[in-house]
Amino acid sequence: MDLRVTPLDKNVIGNARNNLRKRRLIDTFWGYIFILPQVAGMVAFVLIPLVSVFYLSMVSWDGLGDIQFVGFQNFIDQFASEDLRIAFINTINYTLITVPGGIILALLTALALNRVRGKAIYRVIYFMPVVTSTVAVSVIWLWLLNGDYGLINQILRAVFHVEGPNWLADEHWVIPSIAIVSIWGSLGINMVIFLAGLQSIPAAYIEAARIDGASRLQLFWRITLPLLSPTLFFVIVLSIISSFQVFDQTFILTGGGPAKESYTIVYHIYTLGFRQFTFGPASAAAVILFALLLILTLLQFTLQRRWVTYEL
């Protein structure tokens, strides 16, 4: 057999190579076309703002006049500012109520739902606040929490003969009140995530523990909770992040009041940036919030190794 490569064969190979190169080129062309809209959006609305915010945090600018570079002065001012301190403390207080309260309630609800029939009906009702706008939900709660005629104080008065506080105007009750609204609003989504986590626990583990004579509580602490820990971790991380970003509820319910008792970090950023138009300090506050969230999240990822079980 003649194995020499004839000029004709060379042509065929060359053509195949050319075709391949051509196809790669066409693919590259289409690849860039397909990602173009989203990449343009990312560059224009995320990457450029991301770089700019660090620059803006080091300038003094009201959006109209000259931009003055001030170095780290905005950060120094922010760390010394009474407003940021108040906002920070309020946000922490709010988080300390919302995250544990919300997660325990959602987990208990999911555990109960996982055991009963008629899951779908309950789920529809519990999930309703999740699809409703926070603004509408907050307006409804504004009425429920009204000191004189709100339903909650009316019930306290009629049933328990107690005069309830003026929730949203009371310096001690305002943060717990906003936290209750948030817990109520996010119960549905956390519950659904927990339910999905519970349903992914292999029935065999539960059965085996039952056969070994584990009590209901033992079953929960030794089997369900460890197997649910990745879900729990996920919900904790997300809940902390979102309660540090609380804004809509405080804006509608209290406007940060009374006397800044519900003034939160994002409210602070909003006030500096879009009420006073001091973009420099507002950017510095935003960078501080971001750093705070980053540290908190990294901390949680470090701590998770101690308590999250990924496999039995």
Partner 1 sequence: MLQESVQDPRNGATSGGWAGGPPRVFQKGPVNVHPQRSLGSMAFTVFLHTLLIIGALIMAGPFIWMIITSLKDTSQAFSSPPSFLPNPIVWSNYPNSLQAMPFGEAYFNSIYIAIIVVVVDLLTSAMAGYAFARIRFPGRDSIFVLFLATLMIPFQLTIIPLFIIMQKLNWIDTHLALIVPACLFDAFGVFLMRQFIKGIPIELEEAAIVDGASRWTVFWRIILPLLKAPLSALGIFTFLSTWNSFFIPLIMLNTPDLFTVPLMLNQFKDQYTTQWTLVMAGSLIAVLPVLIVYIIGQRQIIQGIALTGLKS
H or E stretch including 59?
strand 59-60
Cβ proximity to partner 1: between 5 and 35 the closer is: 35
In angstroms, give the least distance from the CB of 286 to partner 1: 5
Question: What's the closest the beta carbon of residue 195 comes to partner 1, in angstroms?
Answer: 8
CB of 237 to partner 1, least distance (A): 11
Taking the complex as a whole, the smallest distance from the CB of residue 85 to partner 1 amounts, in Å, to 18
Q: CA quadruple 246, 247, 248, 254: dihedral positive or negative? A: positive
Helices and strands of the chain, counted as H and E runs: 14, 2
CA 46 – CA 56 distance, rounded (Å): 15
Positive or negative, the CA dihedral 210, 119, 202, 297 is: negative
Q: At a CB cut-off of 8 Å and minimum separation 6, what does 90 contact? A: 175, 260, 261, 262, 263, 264
Q: Find out whether 176 and 183 touch, Cβ atoms under 8 Å.
A: no
Q: Which is nearer to partner 1, 205 or 234 (CB)?
A: 234
Report in angstroms how near the CB of residue 223 gets to partner 1 at its nearest: 13
Would you call 194 exposed, middle or buried from its count of C-beta atoms within 10 A (0-12, 13-18, 19+)?
Answer: buried
Least separation in angstroms between residue 161's CB and partner 1 is 11
What is the closest distance, in whole angstroms, from the C-beta atom of residue 5 to partner 1 in the complex?
Answer: 26
DSSP state of 101: H
Cis before 202 (ω within 30) = no
Choose between 290 and 310: whose C-beta lies nearer to partner 1.
Answer: 290
Nearer to partner 1, 154 or 229 (CB): 154
| Four-CA torsion 282, 285, 287, 288, nearest 10 degrees | 180
- Residue with Cβ nearer partner 1 (189 or 227): 189
Q: Please, which residue, 10 or 62, has the CB nearer to partner 1?
A: 62
Smallest distance from partner 1 to CB 268, Å:
10
Q: Which SS3 state, helix, strand or coil, does residue 60 take?
A: strand
Q: Which lies closer to partner 1 via its Cβ, residue 42 or residue 96?
A: 42
Nearest-angstrom CA–CA distance, 154 and 125:
24
For residue 3, the minimal CB distance to partner 1 (Å) is 29
Output the DSSP codes for 10-52.
Answer: HHHHHHHHHHHHHHHHHHHHHHHHHHHHHHHHHIIIIIHHHHH
Which residue's CB is nearer to partner 1, number 114 or number 225? 114
State which residue, 5 or 207, has the beta carbon closest to partner 1. 207
What is d(CA 283, CA 286) in angstroms, rounded to the nearest whole number? 5
